[in-house]
Structure 1
Amino acid sequence: MSRIFQFFFSVLLLIGSTLFSGEFAYVTNNGDGTVSIIDTASNTVVGTITVGSGPFGIDVTPDGKFAYVANNGDGTVSVIDTSINTVVGTPITVGTAPRGLAITPDGTAVYVANEGSQDVSVIDVATNTVVQTFGGIGNAPFNLVFSSDGSRVYFTIINDGNIAIVDTATKALIASVPIGSDPWGLDVTPNGQTVYVGNTGDGEAGVLDTSSLAVSLIFLNNAPKGVAVSLDGSKVYITDQVGPSDRLNIIDTATNTVTNTLLLGNGAAGIDISPNGEIAYVPNTADGTVSIVDLRSETILSTITVGASPIQVAVIPETFSVTGAAKKDSFMTETNIFNKLTWAAPDNITTNRYLIYRDSTLIATLPANQQSYIDNNLKRKRTYSYTIIAEGPGGSGAVGKVTLKTKS
């Protein structure tokens, strides 16, 4: 899955629906067709949303406005409006037995791994329709994660024991790399150099060098599943089902050695990390709880009850405001049509750099101290959509968007 971070809402009442206030984590409850909403400030469940049958994967758009849920039991994706925590629209039909899903870093598309039909559905976020389906990546794609620049997507292929690497521009398979038995969860380091994989079938974590495609292994215990890399890339956290109290393995990425293990609930599965990198959330499938982990002290803060068979979790990302102005500059016979973008640094992360996308294409990378950008030599009377990703110490941290129509 993609990096996911906090977003703030005001408390208002709108046509009988409550707009929620605070920071939230969303947990898919595979056993009862619901999603639990956790207020991360109080670590309490503040609501439950009914979705489709057997919800599994979940991700939140970079602007924090919508959560997408893969319903494994009925082959659909539900869309949740996070401002009112309600499912909106009709379920989106995808392939058979969808498992993991992830949203592109620019927020324009959702990729859904369909384990049963052995293909991938691509949903256009603007229309919430499937615009493409591609296969040929292996037997039973399961979970997935994007590189921070969105150029590649990595899939665990659970029946083949492989990692499939796909070019997002062409949807072509770049490589299929043997990684271990029954690969489940995965995550990529902020620098894009390493993918860590939980291999449930052989008790090991697979470590993939994305340049050389070389693989090394870290022995864990029984059935590693969920994977999350820390925001600074120095540690990776991997859940491990050893039962009845499962474990969270804390691994030093410099040495690829386990430095600590924490006891979780029964059936520890997915994992996600808060925007500030301090807290992790782990659904425990067998006992219907979520373990809340303080990553600073490496201790369990609390364990809270959610729905039946919780499996994966996603935290709302942080956004920031971007303003834009369409301009033109004429000199002699030449006219430059351009757009100027300006923004303020996000409040809750330390920004390392900004990635500027125009209509889903990366056009610039800026240092943290530059908070404006001029996009030159554009076409007249053309509408352009811009996405700016503020990368923190561990990748995509906050997102700003603006749409502009150029001058005539």
Structure 2
Amino acid sequence: MSAPVTLHRRGLRFALTALTVGAAVLASAPAAFAAPVTSAPRSVQVSQSNVSLSTARLFTATPVPTITGTPQAGRRLTASPGTWKPAPVALSYRWKVNGVTVPGATASAFTPSNTQVGKRVTVTVTGTKAGYQTASKTSAATRPVAPATIAVGTSPRKLVVTANGRWAYVANSGSGTVSVISTATGNVVATVPVGGDPIGLAVSTNQQQVFVSTCSDEKIYALNIASNTVAYSFTTGTCGDLVATPDGKTLYIGGSPTLRDITVATIATRSLAEPIFTGAAVIDLTSSADRKGVYVSNGDDYAILIVDTAAPQAPQKRFTTSHPPVASAPSPDGKTVYASLGLDLFTGPSNAVEVIDTATNRVRATIAINAPGDLAVSPDGSKLHVLSQGDNTIVTVSTATNRVLSRIPVGRAPSSLAVTPDGSKVGITSSSENTVSVLPVF
């Protein structure tokens, strides 16, 4: 009868031992085993947050903003946000130029600066309202920002800059005046009346006078740079572009009674010398960087000629073009001449600038530009600036690659351009808007 008692006690001890061991295992279990116990409250918290977001309502109207005003340096642009609903909605603004946020530009209006010329502007409007999800809308980009302008006389036709870069002179053919601009301030400091309708300008070699060619009275006027007054005038019987020779003694006038010559005026005696035969009507005259050569655009002859100022009656070097040239510009080293080409009566417009190698008389490249007009090369030779009369833009081209770097809007009917001696600015006359645009070059 004792055996059963013993077995019962052994079973009890085993049960007690199992309970003890189980308790020890639970006590020493990793924290991960306890995770299921605490995960339920965390799941509830996340769910509550999601419920809070989902209850935020959406605006019933979030219109895309628009920008009003002319994108031009110095002129204000205004954001029109449209009507956000339900009103009232708090609106904030953020302006960008070429996709980059402008620091501090958080008002509903923004005025581009000269450093933003050629770039596009957008505005982002953000709406906020308690109980509603915040929303943002971005406007379409503006056209490239145009350069600032200076008001001058009527129908400006020609622009020149003095060698020291201090003064710019504008021939206003419609008002019979010459505007004098300070390049430092961008202000017109004087307006000098001359007879007739001025179309050509040239600065004397000694930088003391500006010569003006007028058509209606066919004269040359000499303006005193120091006083901005007319020093004297004399009759030439023609008018056109002007180039002063390096010795300061002679003026070449791109026009003649026969239409096949360059008129030559002797400054000291205010008389005419032997004309230079070109064989065709002269459209444009441009001096080389050292003034020793004069590039002549012979429209009817489909050619660019070079007149040697040391031997003006010698045969000219001739470069053939595919269309009538309307303007030309040499590189500073004289190895290249760029020709803006006009309309051929049979083949139509070229809409191109030809890049001519002066050593081989071959066209190295053709640059597509709509109705190209006046053009100039930067003093360091790295950039070519061309007026597109078809698009009312100034086109800047890399002379290393002949690729267009930018097309920037200017005033309507751009007629001439000039680069400052340091290459930092380009002035462009607009004969329809009676202004000069000032393009900063970066």
User: What TM-score bracket applies, with the shorter chain setting the length?
Assistant: 0.5 to 0.7
Partner of 1:97: 197
Among 280, 283, 286, the residue aligned to 1:181: 280
Once residues 192 and 127 of structure 1 are traced to their aligned partners in structure 2, the CA distance between those partners, rounded to angstroms, is 26
- 1:308: how far off? 0.8
Indicate whether 1:288 and 2:392 are aligned: yes
* Residue identity matched to 2:272: L
- 1:190: how far off? 4.6
* Residue identity matched to 1:80: I
Once residues 72 and 52 of structure 1 are traced to their aligned partners in structure 2, the CA distance between those partners, rounded to angstroms, is 8
Alignment of 1:20-35 (within 5 A): none
Partner of 2:154: 53
Alignment of 1:298-337 (within 5 A): 298-318=402-422
Gap regions ≥5 residues in structure 2:
1-112, 119-144, 424-442
- 1:177: how far off? 1.7
Alignment of 1:45-124 (within 5 A): 45-89=146-190, 91-124=191-224
- 1:157: how far off? 0.3
On the 8 A contact 1:205/1:224 being kept in 2, the answer is yes
- 1:79: how far off? 0.9
- 1:192: how far off? 5.1
Deviations along 1:26-71, one digit per CA (max 9) or x if unpaired, are: xxxxxxxxxxxx9699656331111111101101122212110000
Once residues 216 and 390 of structure 2 are traced to their aligned partners in structure 1, the CA distance between those partners, rounded to angstroms, is 23
On the 8 A contact 2:243/2:294 being kept in 1, the answer is no
**CA 41–133 in structure 1, closer or farther in 2 if over 3 Å, else same:** farther
Among 361, 369, 373, the residue aligned to 1:264: 369
- TM-score, normalising length from structure 2? 0.58
Partner of 1:132: 232
- 1:198: how far off? 0.9
Partner of 1:399: none
Once residues 158 and 289 of structure 1 are traced to their aligned partners in structure 2, the CA distance between those partners, rounded to angstroms, is 32
- 1:282: how far off? 1.2
On the 8 A contact 2:153/2:179 being kept in 1, the answer is yes
Once residues 287 and 244 of structure 1 are traced to their aligned partners in structure 2, the CA distance between those partners, rounded to angstroms, is 14
Once residues 359 and 115 of structure 2 are traced to their aligned partners in structure 1, the CA distance between those partners, rounded to angstroms, is 30
Once residues 70 and 221 of structure 1 are traced to their aligned partners in structure 2, the CA distance between those partners, rounded to angstroms, is 31
Once residues 283 and 268 of structure 2 are traced to their aligned partners in structure 1, the CA distance between those partners, rounded to angstroms, is 25
Higher relative contact order (CA 8 A, sep 6+): 1
Alignment of 1:253-402 (within 5 A): 253-266=358-371, 268-318=372-422
**CA 274–194 in structure 1, closer or farther in 2 if over 3 Å, else same:** closer
Once residues 113 and 200 of structure 1 are traced to their aligned partners in structure 2, the CA distance between those partners, rounded to angstroms, is 20
Once residues 199 and 359 of structure 2 are traced to their aligned partners in structure 1, the CA distance between those partners, rounded to angstroms, is 31
Partner of 2:11: none
Pairwise CA RMSD: 2.6
Once residues 77 and 150 of structure 1 are traced to their aligned partners in structure 2, the CA distance between those partners, rounded to angstroms, is 22
Q: SS where residue 157 of structure 1 aligns?
A: coil
* Residue identity matched to 2:339: I
**CA 315–169 in structure 1, closer or farther in 2 if over 3 Å, else same:** same
- 1:158: how far off? 6.1
Once residues 42 and 275 of structure 1 are traced to their aligned partners in structure 2, the CA distance between those partners, rounded to angstroms, is 21
Once residues 261 and 155 of structure 1 are traced to their aligned partners in structure 2, the CA distance between those partners, rounded to angstroms, is 29
- 1:318: how far off? 3.6
Gap regions ≥5 residues in structure 1:
1-37, 320-408
Count of aligned positions: 278
* Residue identity matched to 2:168: A
Deviations along 1:156-208, one digit per CA (max 9) or x if unpaired, are: 10662321233333333332122143312222335655422112334322333
Deviations along 1:65-86, one digit per CA (max 9) or x if unpaired, are: 2110000112110111111111
**CA 148–311 in structure 1, closer or farther in 2 if over 3 Å, else same:** same
**CA 41–218 in structure 1, closer or farther in 2 if over 3 Å, else same:** farther
User: Structure 1 or 2: larger helix share?
Assistant: 2
- 1:257: how far off? 3.4
Partner of 1:382: none
* Residue identity matched to 1:293: V
Among 226, 230, 241, the residue aligned to 2:331: 230
Q: SS where residue 175 of structure 1 aligns?
A: coil
Structure 1 residues 118-127 or 236-245, which shifts more? 236-245
Partner of 1:388: none
Structure showing greater radius of gyration is 2
**CA 180–71 in structure 1, closer or farther in 2 if over 3 Å, else same:** farther
Once residues 149 and 41 of structure 1 are traced to their aligned partners in structure 2, the CA distance between those partners, rounded to angstroms, is 42
Deviations along 1:77-121, one digit per CA (max 9) or x if unpaired, are: 0111111111123x2112312112121233211111112221111
Partner of 2:253: 155
